[in-house]
């Protein structure tokens, strides 16, 4: 069953989130989030594009500050995502319900070892 629905960048580009090392990023996100590498480029900067359930997230050695970036990822089942990530050794935090534009969202956060922050969310009734 599909888990990832969409990804939205905090800053500029969800396909160019800043990292220091492409190989480390690809390895971490494959293990942690179950992403699969689908593209890799060296020019203009080293970049890897990864995907899960048709949702793409990319990482680039672009000089950006990862502690100031990340993505909001909409999932079909926040509890399933949290449980899966924790089983993969990922530390999750701030399990809570947010309200935005009259909608309630079950949310949690992951701060990856590279400093990028992820806001996982699911719309709830």
Q: What is the DSSP string of the chain?
A: ---EEEEEESSS-TT-EE-S-HHHHHHHHHHHH--EEEEEE-SSS-EEEEEETTEEEEEE-SS--GGG-EEEEEES-HHHHHHHHHHTT---EEEEEEEETTEEEEEEEEE-TTS-EEEEEEEE-
pLDDT recorded at residue 47:
97
- Average the pLDDT over 78-86 and give the result: 98
Q: What whole-number percentage of the chain has pLDDT above 90? A: 95
How far is it, in rounded angstroms, from Cα 113 to Cα 125? 33
pLDDT exceeds cutoff 90 at 50: yes
pLDDT exceeds cutoff 90 at 30: yes
pLDDT recorded at residue 125:
82
Mean of pLDDT over the chain:
96
How far is it, in rounded angstroms, from Cα 75 to Cα 20? 27
pLDDT recorded at residue 85:
97
pLDDT recorded at residue 114:
94
Q: Give Cβ neighbours of residue 24 (< 8 Å, ≥ 6 apart).
A: 114
Full-model pTM: 0.94
pLDDT exceeds cutoff 90 at 74: yes
pLDDT exceeds cutoff 90 at 11: no
């Amino acid at each position: 069953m599909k888990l990832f629905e969409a990804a939205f960048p905090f800053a500029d580009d969800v396909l160019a989130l800043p990292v220091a090392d492409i190989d480390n990023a690809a390895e971490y996100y494959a293990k942690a989030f179950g992403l699969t590498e689908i593209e890799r480029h060296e020019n203009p900067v080293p970049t890897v594009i990864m995907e899960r359930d048709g949702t793409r997230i990319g990482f680039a050695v672009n000089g950006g500050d990862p502690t100031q970036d990340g993505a909001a990822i909409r999932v079909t089942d926040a509890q399933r995502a949290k449980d899966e990530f924790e089983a993969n050794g990922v530390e999750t935090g701030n399990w809570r319900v947010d309200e935005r534009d009259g909608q309630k969202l079950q949310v949690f956060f992951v701060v990856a070892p590279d400093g990028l922050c992820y806001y996982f969310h699911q719309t709830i009734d």
